[in-house]
Amino acid sequence: MAHHGGSDPESDPSTRLYNPYQDLNLQAPITNLYKLQTSPEFLFAEESLHQRRSWGENLTFYTGSAYLGGSVSGGVVGLFSALRNFEQGDTLKLKINRILNSSGHTGRSWGNRIGVVGLIYAGMESGVVAATDRDDVWSSVAAGLATGAVCRAARGVRSAAWLLGSKF
């Protein structure tokens, strides 16, 4: 779309101005700026309302951020615990070894656990959104509850299921 004379592009946040010759280093000055849409363009308004993150994007984003956040915070906690556990006669090599061991171990275990929680939450939210066809805060709440239920079942029902299983 060529630049229309009436609307002010600065006040319209859904478009941006674009010069097609911007990378070419032409000698002549630019005469035309075009207004491009900043969001993806759809032919039908109903389709654009229906577009949301696919379940794969949901999965990788939540799992990735959960694992990264968990392992970074676990690494920091491990680093501080290693710094606290320094002994009197430690050489530099021993100190570095202690730091790497502790932060690596704590980071990995925290990252694993929080990553699994993120994975289950991502799967639940994609399932709830696909089932109810709504993508609002309540689907996130429902997904969080379901994730908590799975984790509780994994922890609490374990003892009961163990007793039941031993009877067979």
- Of 6 and 165, which CB lies nearer to other proteins in the complex structure? 165
Q: Residue 21: how many CB atoms within 10 A of its CB? A: 11
**CB 121, CB 143: distance < 8 Å:** yes
Q: Which residues contact 22 (CB under 8 A, 6 or more apart)?
A: none
Q: How many helices (H) and strands (E) does the chain have?
A: 4, 2
Give the shortest CB-73-to-other proteins separation in angstroms: 12
**CB 106, CB 77: distance < 8 Å:** yes
**CB 118, CB 83: distance < 8 Å:** no
* Residues contributing to the site for other proteins (CB under 8 A): 40, 57, 59-68, 71, 100, 105, 108-109, 111-113, 115-120, 122, 150-152, 154-155, 158, 161-162, 165-166, 168
- The SS3 call for residue 11 is coil
Give the shortest CB-162-to-other proteins separation in angstroms: 6
- Of 109 and 140, which CB lies nearer to other proteins in the complex structure? 109
- Of 18 and 32, which CB lies nearer to other proteins in the complex structure? 18
Give the shortest CB-18-to-other proteins separation in angstroms: 15
Give the shortest CB-40-to-other proteins separation in angstroms: 6
- Of 95 and 105, which CB lies nearer to other proteins in the complex structure? 105
Give the shortest CB-5-to-other proteins separation in angstroms: 30
Q: How far apart are CA 146 and CA 158, in angstroms?
A: 17
- Of 68 and 142, which CB lies nearer to other proteins in the complex structure? 68
